[in-house]
Chains A and B, each alone.
Chain A
């Protein structure tokens, strides 16, 4: 039990003193995962919307593959991206291995299935409600799907939050393609892994707590925004 209490006090101390190395690490975690989600958003949301309405032979297989990719282990993604970006690999000339760019690439691939599958669900559900009426207004099939993305933008925001959570919490992919280089590609999760392997468990736990606090703060901010728009907003004004 004492390791845990030590962790809480360490976490508190770290946050209050805003240790510069810690701040930099947290900022990098947020930046890498945030970028990955942004990169995946455009293609993922559009694909999800399209899949909700498209009808083509083999659609069931595509959906099956998509759902399977939800369980893609992050280490596998990391390894695959490493082999692609390695100097001996097809994209070696990009020279981005062991840089944050490589980490963004890996995490983008990781969250893409999540965004696509969940967006598909959101759009399909929304179309069940209002698809008929949109159609009667003259909306084509794809236009309906995209309008529903706009209509359900808060559900979409939740999807993005889920994707971000997955990205910021993973360690397998960023470790392999980033190399956990001190001051360059070291993020929260790889730092935690490092401290654990060095045997400094209370510190590792403390860093874990810090990460959770940061993500919680992010969620609070988004919730505040949510409350100031939408149907409740008129009442709140």
Chain B
């Protein structure tokens, strides 16, 4: 059979071929990072599918490759501090301004916003449904309904905590037993939420592409406070000389330009626009 066919010489030949072929992929390692930049962004942004729509347009316009490392906002900003990224694309204005103040970013510019929503079990045991996020959260805390938080220092998590504070619930983990932190990304939190029929604060983008909804539906949306502002920051070469400033600035300029803004607006999931460009004119 095959074993018989594989005699001494043929075996050697096959080994040599495999060995040589295995070197064939080596060039991919060295694959020129010449016209490419590393962008630190958030998991929710990447999972919304925006980059798959936006970045090819940018590449076509400029020939620059953008390599997205999608992590939590906290880690993304940390990457900026460490100089492991050339450009940041995150959504936590306070934390971003702090980074600029520390000198790690050249400047911060509004680029777009999306919104948060609260999803929950169809039966809505806490009676959270409506247009008021703060009131909804207060009711959830009062009824001690199950609520899943990302708990990962992400932009979403930071926003969530701000809403709780406004609702008079300062450290929700200590205030009611229904509150659970998973220390995970948005999709994972939704997974847990759908499994345990819990309320979850999520960005609309992740929700629209989330497939494992179970019993969950949108309960709270439209509150102006739920708008989630994105900012773009070029990492400061003064702190990290190796940063590809020119290429990064090209991206920042493009995404803030009418072309970039239009591309953002044209991204739709299920016919719905997810992100609303609002770069300063």
- Confirm or deny: A86 has a beta carbon within 8 angstroms of a beta carbon on chain B: yes
Query: Given A86-B84, A87-B240, do A228 and B6 touch, yes or no (CB 8 Å)?
Result: yes
Which of A31, A99, A197 has the most C-beta atoms of chain B within 10 angstroms of its own C-beta?
A197
Partner of B185, one of A88, A89, A95, A197: A197
Given contacts A87-B84, A98-B84, A228-B11, contact A199 B187 (CB under 8 A): yes
User: Are the C-beta atoms of A88 and B82 separated by less than 8 Å?
Assistant: yes
Q: Using a CB-CB cutoff of 8 Å, which residues 10-69 of chain B contact chain A?
A: 11, 22, 25, 28-29, 33, 38, 43, 47, 51-52, 67-69
Q: With both chains docked as a complex, state the minimum distance between the C-beta of B155 and any C-beta of chain A, in angstroms.
A: 16
Q: A27 an interface residue at 8 Å Cβ cutoff?
A: yes
Complex interface: chain B residues within 8 A of A228 (CB): 3, 6-7, 11
Q: A92-B83, A198-B187 are in contact. Are A179 and B47 (CB under 8 A)?
A: no
Count the B residues whose beta carbon is within 8 Å of the partner chain — how many?
A: 41
Select the stretch in A39-47, A155-163, A180-188 that faces chain B: A180-188
Please state if B11 and A99 are interface contacts (CB–CB under 8 Å).
no
Q: Could you tell me the distance in whole angstroms from the C-beta of A8 to the nearest C-beta in chain B?
A: 18
Whether A200 is near chain B, meaning CB under 8 Å from some CB there, is: yes
- From B25, B43, B194, give the contact of A197 (CB < 8 A): B43
Cα distance, A88 to B104, chains bound together (Å) = 13
Give which listed residue, B6, B52, B69, B211, contacts A200 with CB less than 8 A: B211
A61 in contact (CB, < 8 A): no
B184-211 vs A, CB cutoff 8 Å, 1 = contact: the mask equals 1111101100100000000000100111
- Cα distance, A225 to B67, chains bound together (Å): 40
Cβ 8 A contact of B83, one of A31, A88, A224, A225: A88
Partner of B6, one of A88, A197, A201, A224: A224
- A199-B33 contact in complex given A228-B6, A228-B7, A228-B11, C-beta closer than 8 Å: no
A128 interfacial by beta-carbon distance below 8 Å: no
Nearest-neighbour CB distance to chain A for B217, whole angstroms, equals 15
CB distance from B27 to the nearest CB of A (A): 11
Q: Any chain B CB within 8 A of the CB of A66? A: no
When distances are taken between beta carbons in the complex, the residues of chain A under 8 Å from B29 are: 99-101, 104
CB nearest to A24 among chain B residues: B28
Chain A min CB distance to B104 (Å): 11
Question: A97: CB under 8 A from chain B?
Answer: yes
Beyond A27-B25, A31-B28, 18 additional contacts (C-beta under 8 Å) are: A86-B82, A88-B83, A88-B84, A92-B83, A99-B33, A179-B38, A180-B70, A182-B51, A194-B47, A196-B187, A197-B184, A198-B47, A198-B209, A201-B212, A228-B7, A236-B3, A237-B4, A237-B7
Q: Is A5 part of the contact surface with B, judged by Cβ < 8 Å?
A: no
- The answer, yes or no, to whether A219 is at the interface (CB within 8 Å) is no
12 residue pairs A–B, Cβ–Cβ below 8 Å: A88-B84, A98-B69, A179-B67, A181-B68, A196-B188, A197-B47, A199-B187, A199-B194, A199-B212, A225-B11, A229-B11, A236-B4
Q: Which residues of chain B have C-beta atoms less than 8 A from A100's C-beta?
A: 28-29
- In the complex, A198 Cα to B206 Cα: how many Å? 8
In the complex, what distance in Å separates the CA atom of A89 from the CA atom of B82? 8
Residues of A participating in the B interface, judged by any CB pair closer than 8 Å: 27-28, 31, 34, 86-89, 92, 95, 97-101, 104, 179-182, 184, 194, 196-201, 224-225, 227-229, 236-237
Q: Which residues of A contact B185 (CB under 8 A)?
A: 197
Whether B175 sits at the interface, judged by CB under 8 Å, is no
Q: How far is the CA of A161 from the CA of B239 in the complex (A)?
A: 45
A224 CB contact (under 8 Å) in B2, B38, B210: B2
B187 close to A197 (CB less than 8 A): yes
Q: Is the CB of A199 within 8 A of B211?
A: yes
Residues of A within 8 A of B51 (CB): 182
B242 at the interface (CB under 8 A from A): yes
